[in-house]
Structure 1
Amino acid sequence: MQHTSKVVWGIIGCGDVAEVKSGPAFQKLNHSELHAVMRRNTEKAQDFASRHQVPKWYNNADELLKNEYINSIYIATPPSTHLEYTIRALEAGKNVYLEKPMALSYKQAKKITAAVEKYNSKLTLAHYRRHLPAFLKARQLLNSEVIGEVRFADIQVLQPIKSALVADSETNWRVDSAISGGGYFHDLAPHQIDLMCYFFGPYDTAHGFSAGQDNTYKADDIVNGIISFQNGVQCRGVWCFNTAEENKKESCIIYGSKGRIEFSFFGDVVKLIMENKTEEFRFKNIPQVQQPMIARTIGYFLGKESNPCSSDEGLQVAKIMDIFCGISVS
């Protein structure tokens, strides 16, 4: 019997991300219970459940989805299985909290969005930076027009071939396009592009191109893109994963008519620069960085608040990513 007064979770894919960034948050928050986890490797599924005091574990997603006590699913597998597991969870009448990127491609993301409507279930994308203190502060500064009218945003993610920004995993599946959708761009850029959409709203046009320059792996290792938003703001970004250690950089600068805002997507400091004076706002994130987003998702699943990141918003990010990579979105 499904609960209606609390969110009872099952996790599909209890790997690196679920270990610290998200998994423990499901047990810490009110009106939330982590009841079961699933991983195809039986030993690892059992180990995760034992270490995190999770009552049940499975090595088969169908068995987890048959559990009627569970009403919501967190899908934390690599992107190649997002479409399959999401649709199966929605068919089973479960709400879904889905890891980024939404799917392997915009075409797959469209199928997920259609399934959300078909099965009349709820789905939230795990673009958790939306609700971290630093980015809420940046958004508040933008909305208060402290830097005047926003002109454009400049994203630069310049990294050596082995980047510390990329999470460790047993196999380097993030550069296998069949599993990840592309290279490291597909792992990191969803958060950055989503924040721009969160700050500036719907977009009018986007253009971009990508290439594999170093040939260390088959996926592209450099992506450039520009976006023109409906409100007149423009954004340009470069994601390069083949540069020298000395060139390493990861930043976003938002330029306005009266000043600028600077921050790192992986940092905890927001800088406001006006008239050659710098004001810093410092924040400290908890280890379970997804906890604020999961809290909002629980509120949404229980009908107490709006969706913190809808499938339509995820679809917009997926479309921009494909355009940047020269993939047809028709």
Structure 2
Amino acid sequence: RGKMDKIVWGIIGCGNVTEVKSGPAFNKVENSSLAAVMRRDKTLAQDYALRHHVKKWYSDADALINDQDVNAIYIATPPDSHEQYTIAAFKAGKPVYVEKPMALNSSEARRMLEASEKHSCKLSVAHYRRAQPRFLEIRRLIQNNTMGKILSAEIRLFQAPTPGVANTWRVNPLISGGGLFHDLAPHQLDLMLYFFGEPKSVKGSSSNRGKNYQADDYVTADIIFGDNVPFKGTWDYTVTPDKELDLCEIKGTKGTLRFPIFTDGCQLTLEGLTKDLHFPPIPHVQQPMIEQVVNYFLNKGPNPCSASEALIVMEMMDRLCGKLK
């Protein structure tokens, strides 16, 4: 494995997430290009490649992994195949950027981490919000004590069931690891980890209230992060449309931050004065993260989200959903 001076990507699984959020960014970041894509359906793989001007397409993952032109792999399949493809890439000596959730559960995530060490291959996880200017600024406000000592953090995510959701892989635990909690909470719990440090205790519960599908649709969390920051989380995917909410609230002795995680915006209240913090929209939301991953793969910077950090997130989720005692 000679020294790489450019990252040439192959994507396994070019579904929705790769259309705008991530895919185009691989060609826009410095020292990075996208050379090949793979989908099990060859027609869809070809369609993606032609629309995005990608030279090669495959319907077989091993063929893409072993393509001599490709020196890094982005895995954007559903979670049930993350471990298998990650380890296959490592066996071919190629670093991996893997979608979230990192895997179906924390034992798979741990095996991926161990494989990364065993094969001396780099592994980064797509908790991409930690590279975006809005969340970097929130983290800065927390860490430089603008809000004083942090007293509490709370996340509420309430969503109404969408028609047809029962037929999607996202609510099939065998493919996704759980329900919509597994799809969205990795971003939220990762930000708490990024802001406050490792959890000291994790308690919670999960249940299937709506019975719209097999997976849990109601999850609660009581976590103590880092330097004794108490966190409460509630994820409810059974509310009526008028009750929908996406809110994170962080309270300190001097002020409060309120912001959604999945849409833009942030309010900071200090000494009774509230100001809105504005950040320009990001056309490809993963681009700042992919930039950092490319630098990490080229030995020009740290790992923006390591396997061990993502494993902590998977362990929190497993504990909240009763899969880890």
Q: What band does the TM-score fall into relative to the shorter chain?
A: over 0.9
CA contact (8 A) 2:166 2:212 kept: no
Q: Deviations over 1:144-179 (max 9, x none)?
A: 21110001100000111129xxxx999511000000
Match of 1:300 in 2: 296
Cα separation, partners in 2 of 1:2 and 1:66, compared to 1, 3 Å? farther
Query: In the alignment, residue 228 of structure 2 is paired with which amino acid?
Result: G
2:244 to 239, 248, 254: 248
User: What SS does the corresponding residue of 1:142 show, helix, strand or coil?
Assistant: helix
Q: Are residues 1:220 and 2:216 paired?
A: yes
What is the correspondence of 1:1-330 to structure 2 with a 5 Å cutoff?
A: 4-162=4-162, 172-328=168-324
CA contact (8 A) 1:132 1:285 kept: no
Instruction: Report the CA distance between 1:44 and its aligned residue.
Output: 0.2
**Structure 1 unaligned blocks of 5 or more:** none
Separation in 2, partners of 1:213, 1:170: 14
CA contact (8 A) 1:2 1:70 kept: no
Separation in 2, partners of 1:75, 1:285: 25
Q: Deviations over 1:35-55 (max 9, x none)?
A: 100000010000000010100
Q: Deviations over 1:64-100 (max 9, x none)?
A: 1111221100000000100111111111111000000
Q: Deviations over 1:104-137 (max 9, x none)?
A: 0011111101101000000110000001111111
Separation in 1, partners of 2:217, 2:46: 36
Give TM-score scaled by structure 2 length: 0.97
Query: In the alignment, residue 85 of structure 1 is paired with which amino acid?
Result: Y
Give TM-score scaled by structure 1 length: 0.96
Separation in 1, partners of 2:31, 2:134: 26
User: What SS does the corresponding residue of 1:116 show, helix, strand or coil?
Assistant: helix
Separation in 2, partners of 1:138, 1:296: 19
The number of equivalent residue pairs is 325
CA contact (8 A) 2:256 2:269 kept: yes
CA contact (8 A) 2:222 2:230 kept: yes
User: What SS does the corresponding residue of 2:277 show, helix, strand or coil?
Assistant: strand
CA contact (8 A) 1:2 1:68 kept: no
Separation in 2, partners of 1:143, 1:134: 14
Instruction: Report the CA distance between 1:218 and its aligned residue.
Output: 0.9
Separation in 2, partners of 1:280, 1:23: 31
User: What SS does the corresponding residue of 1:282 show, helix, strand or coil?
Assistant: coil
Separation in 2, partners of 1:294, 1:2: 22
CA contact (8 A) 1:139 1:199 kept: yes
Amino-acid identity (%): 47
CA contact (8 A) 1:3 1:69 kept: no
User: What SS does the corresponding residue of 2:266 show, helix, strand or coil?
Assistant: strand
Separation in 1, partners of 2:208, 2:178: 11
Q: Deviations over 1:14-33 (max 9, x none)?
A: 01001110000001111011
**Structure 2 unaligned blocks of 5 or more:** none
Kindly report the root-mean-square deviation, in angstroms, between the aligned alpha carbons of the 2 structures: 1.6
Separation in 2, partners of 1:170, 1:14: 22
Q: Return 121-130 or 222-231, whichever deviates more.
A: 222-231
Cα separation, partners in 2 of 1:43 and 1:301, compared to 1, 3 Å? same
Separation in 1, partners of 2:35, 2:133: 29
Instruction: Report the CA distance between 1:247 and its aligned residue.
Output: 1.0
Cα separation, partners in 2 of 1:170 and 1:75, compared to 1, 3 Å? farther
Query: In the alignment, residue 110 of structure 2 is paired with which amino acid?
Result: K
Separation in 1, partners of 2:168, 2:207: 19
CA contact (8 A) 1:3 1:71 kept: no
User: Which aligned runs of 4 or more in structure 1 are off by greater than 3 angstroms?
Assistant: 168-171
CA contact (8 A) 1:40 1:59 kept: yes
